[in-house]
Amino acid sequence: MTAMYEKLSMPAEGLRLHLNENTGGCSQAVLDALGALTREMAAVYPDYTDATAATATLLGVPPSYVVLVNGLDEGIFAAALATLRGPSPSPLESVIVVPAFDMYAGSSRKAGGKVVEVPLAPGFAFGADDVVAAVTAATRIVFLTTPHNPTGLLIPRASVLSIAGAAPQALIFVDEAYIDFGGETLIEQSLLDRYPNLVVGRTFSKAYGLAALRAGALVATPATLGRIRECVPPYSINIAAALAVPAAMRDTTHYDWYLNEVRESKRLLYAALDRLGLTYLRSEANFVFAHFGDAAEDVVTGLKARGIYVRDRSGDPLCTGYVRITTGVVIHTQACIAAVEEVLCGGR
């Protein structure tokens, strides 16, 4: 895995289906909230009371169980710092199930930790026993993602809890960046109280379309969050994000519309891949992981020439020949399908 998150190209034009962004844009309510920003509000440090309360209400926990972060990336880095730095004769360890989001390994190493990688089983099956077997007395954080990126598969709740119970000395960081699109969240106050080493990360980039505003949250017991808060700058969330978060949550119509678009986009893409005789994983996220085999590079290059960007994950463990395609607004998915068919079938 890379030492830090790989920053991919950000084309000014074209269809960006390579970063799992919200392809429909944020709610108009967010723009209205940003339009209410005054000169005076911009001149003082922001207050997070409303944004924290809105997030806590949405997630069904007290505000003391929530800390806002500058995108979930900051939450990942803060958790790594809080757990992996400290007086120790040898590096403390971070356990990561691979393939995985690059930020887990990059943040762990930057915090001074040793990364222990646990590959998914063949077929991308998650093995809780494999993770537990990798835990040692030096393990201080375990990174899990559900729905998983890049596969879109869920980690069973029982598996997460079994790991949390088997590694009480370690923080079990569950990244739920894509949970809006499918799966059962682990955010329950009673559950967090029962497993105080459990912390859940959420982002408002995917379903709410706030990626450019950098807003996320960590959820755990107040005691667990206490040591992480020490690694988060006091005003890392800017005023625009603080205004946008509650506004986005209020507009449930826009939120529901986008989730419906994602569901229909996945249905259309599955059908197209079936027609082409290609295999794929049925995803609980806002993307589909498809196997193009030897044609993967040609597909990625051919789509790029047509102004459509998708993510070749062939360099990751178990992922040779796999391409990840964001499934957002239906018309964008239809354009991608037409381009894939043209690339694969145009010469036949």
Range of the domain at 295: 15-24+253-345
Q: What is the CATH number of the domain that holds 152?
A: 3.40.640.10
On whether both 119 and 200 belong to a single domain, the answer is yes
E runs forming strands in the chain: 15-16, 66-69, 93-98, 114-119, 139-145, 171-175, 198-203, 216-219, 279-281, 287-291, 308-309, 311-312, 322-326
Q: Are 261 and 329 in contact (CB under 8 A)?
A: yes
Residue 293 lies in a domain: yes
Of 250, 256, 341, 263, nearest in space to 302 by CA:
341
pLDDT for residue 13: 75
Q: Are 66 and 220 in contact (CB under 8 A)?
A: no
Domain end call among 208, 234, 250: 250
- Tens digit of pLDDT for each residue in 92-109? 999 999 999 999 999 999
On whether both 162 and 266 belong to a single domain, the answer is no
pLDDT for residue 87: 73
On whether both 128 and 54 belong to a single domain, the answer is yes
- The segments of the chain whose pLDDT lies below 50 read 1-4, 347-348
* Residue 69 CA: distances (Å) to CA of 51, 77, 109, 147, 282: 11, 10, 20, 21, 31
3-state secondary structure of 122: helix
E runs forming strands in 77-113: 93-98
- Tens digit of pLDDT for each residue in 214-254? 999 999 999 999 999 999 999 999 999 999 999 999 999 99
Q: What is the CATH number of the domain that holds 312?
A: 3.90.1150.10
Domain end call among 195, 220, 250: 250
Give 280's strand partners: 290
On whether both 246 and 329 belong to a single domain, the answer is no
Separation between Cα atoms, residue 97 and residue 108, nearest integer Å: 13
pLDDT for residue 14: 83
First to last CA, the chain: 37
pLDDT for residue 3: 47
pLDDT for residue 12: 66
On whether both 243 and 269 belong to a single domain, the answer is no
pLDDT for residue 7: 57
On whether both 19 and 41 belong to a single domain, the answer is no
Separation between Cα atoms, residue 241 and residue 70, nearest integer Å: 9
